Amino acid sequence: MPLIRVVIVDDHDMVRRGLRGLIESRLRYAVIGEASDGREALTVVGEAQPDIVILDYSLPFQDGLSVARTLKELYPRVEIVMFTLFEQERVVSEAIEIGVLGFVLKSEDEKFMLEALESVALGRQYFTPTLAKARKESRHIATSSIGLSAREQEIVQLIAEGLVQKNIAYKLGISIKTVETHRTNALNKLGLATTADLVRYALRNNLVAE
């Protein structure tokens, strides 16, 4: 079975060392290069010509999406595993459009990185459990959100921005009871249970900036 060659791109030396140790504990893989920022990543990948790049989303000089886009343009056969602290649906969706196959959260167990490498080596998409769940919820919410009125969306946005009902009522010139009615209607239409769920909805649908 041919060796699968991997390049690791992360701005933290400790993270790169940890990943190298994990990957090289499997005989099937070899780490053939490392980079600590976006510019260096493009140079290293160009020279090493790996099969897979493990790519941190948050990098100096160029973010992971920008690097991924350039890599797929220059080296379309190189597969990418995005390694990130974030679970933003917007980021994941854009990365998928670029051609990224694997997505691993840094907060999850290291075994998922090995699973991601196995999957993308076969040309298969991979999400760690937390990301898979977040995407499922986001798709459900996006489908359900069509029925929200403009006022309901406005109130959801203000809740996500941290305003309490009294302040929302004052800002919009309506009663607190009306705010509560719209909030309840939004929860029901979206199939959600709590205000925290509404905040997550707003963040994942770019109604407010994280």
Q: What is the pLDDT along the chain (210 residues), one digit of tens a residue?
A: 679 999 999 999 999 999 999 999 998 999 999 999 999 999 999 999 999 999 998 888 888 889 999 999 999 999 999 998 766 667 787 888 888 999 998 888 899 999 999 999 999 999 888 777 766 655 544 544 556 787 888 888 888 888 889 999 998 889 999 999 999 988 888 888 888 888 887 777 766 654
| Cα-trace Rg, the chain | 21
What is the location of CATH 3.40.50.2300 in the chain? 4-135
Claim: this prediction has a pTM higher than 0.75:
no
- Collapsing DSSP states into helix, strand and coil, what is residue 197? helix
Helices (H), 75-175: 89-98, 111-121, 129-144, 150-160, 165-172
What is the location of CATH 1.10.10.10 in the chain? 148-204
Domain 148-204: give its CATH architecture: Orthogonal Bundle (1.10)
Question: Are 44 and 81 within 8 A, CB to CB?
Answer: no
Domain 4-135: give its CATH architecture: 3-Layer(aba) Sandwich (3.40)
